[in-house]
């Protein structure tokens, strides 16, 4: 292996000088610089990362922890795992802009060795990015003692750790407001997921707030599923069983998989979507744009989530003193036709944050929670009304 010493000797200078040349520092005579560079090139010298890290007391590596999935590729159920890949791309972009590296660790769900692995990881990185719920918060706390940690897609209320997440609450609110204000829906059925999940809690809150702000609107029933297509089917069946005689006019599902399941159950029973019942999901998984009717849903900026998380982590590494903040990124309303918009509709509308959906964030656009997204609400039916400034929309599917 060619070392700095080899280069120094060969070029007839000291290691300090070689180091200076490598890092493009000043105080090196041009002639010297040239000579050193020539030797570096000739010898094919590449600095040893470990030695650099040790000497600088900084590894310039950040760790990214994901959940391992042995699931079959493209299983609808696991579509949202794909989001991790997207988040990772964002992180990758953020990281490499600064010349740092990204160290990946896949954790397998149940494993008791996970903490040992994370602990160990903490000795190899300067900071870590962890997906929400990937690591129990008890372990999180212990990790935080060692290295800065930023949680991605966690609960915005978290106080002990930095969080970068999407505005689930406003997304959900926008969806419901759209159903009410544009499509005149009043009687809602809520297909919810496990109670403890932070993002679902936000979505639930968004739904409830908008409903209660609209007199005459109400939730006539709900079902707690497990986020799978199958459990969506069951939700649909349960809905038909208990409300078959007086159907709701809209179903709001906690995620796209369940919405797809509901759609199946309703179609099976001959209930028309959106004519009899409007239906919306959440997440914007790929199959949603291919269902019949295509699914109206909310899209989270996964890539930006990764980028921001990365920037936040860097920031924290520079200033460890900062107290933990949550950063809530805006989502997009994805209008297709399951909500009642005309067939062929395909637009994305930025969702403005409703009050209370952002924590610690500065310029929150704080709209009235009752009418969370006037622009988005109106855009579909017949173009923007009242000259509202809905931004130009774009088509999604290619």
Contact footprint for a copy of itself (CB under 8 A): 44, 46-54, 59, 61, 68-69, 73-77, 82, 85-86, 88-89, 92-93, 96, 101-106, 117, 119-125, 142, 145-146, 229, 286-287, 289-290, 302-303, 398
19 binds, among DNA, a copy of itself, none (CB under 5 to 8 A by kind): DNA
Q: Which two tokens stand for residue 158?
A: 């978290």
80 binds, among DNA, a copy of itself, none (CB under 5 to 8 A by kind): none
Task: Name which position in 19, 78, 230, 267 contacts DNA (CB under 7 A).
Answer: 19
| Least separation in angstroms between CB 7 and DNA | 7
For residue 297, the Cα-to-chain-centroid distance in whole angstroms is 15
Question: Residues with Cβ < 8 Å from 212, sequence gap 6 or more?
Answer: none
What residue has token string 């679902």?
Answer: 200
Q: Which is nearer to a copy of itself, 37 or 361 (CB)?
A: 37
Question: What would the x/- binding string for DNA be over residues 120 to 159, using CB under 7 A?
Answer: ----------------------------------------
Question: Residues with Cβ < 8 Å from 66, sequence gap 6 or more?
Answer: 84, 88, 104, 105, 106, 107, 131, 134
Question: Residues with Cβ < 8 Å from 132, sequence gap 6 or more?
Answer: 151, 152, 153, 154, 155, 163, 165, 198, 199
388 binds, among DNA, a copy of itself, none (CB under 5 to 8 A by kind): none
Q: Which is nearer to a copy of itself, 115 or 359 (CB)?
A: 115
Candidate segments 25-33, 113-121, 260-268, 382-390, binder of DNA by CB under 7 A:
25-33
Candidate segments 31-39, 89-97, 211-219, 374-382, binder of DNA by CB under 7 A:
31-39
Q: Report whether 299 contacts 348 (CB < 8 A).
A: yes
CA distance 163 to 201: 16
Question: Residues with Cβ < 8 Å from 168, sequence gap 6 or more?
Answer: 199, 200, 202, 203, 206, 282, 298, 300, 331
Q: Report whether 281 contacts 256 (CB < 8 A).
A: yes
Query: Does 16 help bind DNA (rule: CB under 7 A)?
Result: yes
Task: Name which position in 44, 56, 215, 275 contacts DNA (CB under 7 A).
Answer: 56
Q: Which two tokens stand for residue 9?
A: 């000797």
Q: Report whether 128 contacts 317 (CB < 8 A).
A: no
Task: Name which position in 1, 241, 290, 382 contacts DNA (CB under 7 A).
Answer: 1
| Least separation in angstroms between CB 107 and a copy of itself | 9
Half-sphere exposure for 85 (CA within 13 Å, toward CB): 8
Query: Does 104 help bind DNA (rule: CB under 7 A)?
Result: no
Q: Which is nearer to DNA, 12 or 272 (CB)?
A: 12
Strand extents, DSSP E, 35-93: 61-67
Query: Does 23 help bind DNA (rule: CB under 7 A)?
Result: yes
Candidate segments 55-63, 91-99, 274-282, 313-321, binder of DNA by CB under 7 A:
55-63
Q: Report whether 189 contacts 250 (CB < 8 A).
A: yes
Query: Which stretches of the chain bind DNA, using CB under 7 A?
Result: 1, 3-5, 12-17, 19-20, 22-23, 26-29, 31-33, 45, 47-48, 51-52, 54-57
């Amino acid at each position: 292996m060619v070392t700095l010493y080899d280069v120094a000797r060969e070029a007839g200078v000291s290691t300090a000088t070689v180091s200076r040349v490598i890092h493009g520092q000043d105080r090196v005579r041009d002639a010297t610089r040239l000579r050193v560079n020539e030797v570096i090139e000739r010898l094919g010298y590449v600095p040893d990362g470990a030695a650099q890290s040790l000497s600088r007391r900084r590894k310039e590596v950040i760790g990214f922890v994901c959940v391992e999935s042995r699931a079959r590729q493209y299983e609808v159920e696991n579509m949202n795992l794909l989001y991790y890949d997207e988040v990772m791309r964002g992180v990758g972009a953020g990281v490499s802009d600064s010349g740092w590296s990204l160290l990946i660790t896949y954790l397998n769900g149940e494993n008791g060795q996970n903490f040992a692995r994370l602990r160990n990881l903490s000795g190899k990185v300067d900071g870590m990015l962890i997906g929400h719920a990937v690591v129990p918060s008890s372990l999180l706390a212990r990790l935080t003692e060692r290295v800065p940690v930023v949680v991605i897609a966690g609960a915005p209320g978290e106080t002990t750790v930095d969080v970068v997440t999407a505005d689930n609450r406003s997304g959900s609110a926008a969806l419901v407001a759209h159903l009410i204000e544009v499509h005149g829906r009043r009687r809602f059925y809520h297909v919810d997921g496990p109670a403890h999940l932070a993002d679902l809690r936000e979505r639930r809150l968004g739904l409830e707030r908008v409903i209660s702000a609209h007199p005459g609107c109400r939730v006539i029933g709900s079902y707690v599923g497990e986020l799978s297509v199958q459990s969506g089917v069951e939700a649909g069946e349960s809905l038909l069983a208990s409300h078959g005689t007086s159907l709701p006019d809209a179903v709001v599902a906690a995620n796209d998989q369940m919405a797809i399941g509901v759609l199946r159950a309703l179609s099976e029973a001959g209930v028309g979507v959106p004519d009899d019942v409007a239906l919306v999901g959440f997440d914007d998984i790929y199959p949603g744009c291919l269902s019949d009717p295509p699914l109206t849903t909310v899209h989270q900026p996964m890539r930006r989530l990764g980028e921001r998380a990365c920037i936040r982590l860097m920031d924290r590494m520079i200033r460890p003193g900062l107290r933990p903040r949550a950063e809530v990124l805006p989502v997009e309303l994805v209008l297709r036709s399951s909500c009642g918009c005309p067939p062929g509709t395909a637009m994305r509308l930025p969702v403005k944050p409703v009050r209370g959906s952002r924590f610690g964030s500065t310029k929150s656009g704080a709209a009235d929670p009752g009418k969370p997204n006037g622009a988005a609400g109106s855009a579909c039916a017949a173009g923007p009304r009242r000259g509202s400034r809905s931004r130009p929309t774009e088509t999604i599917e290619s």
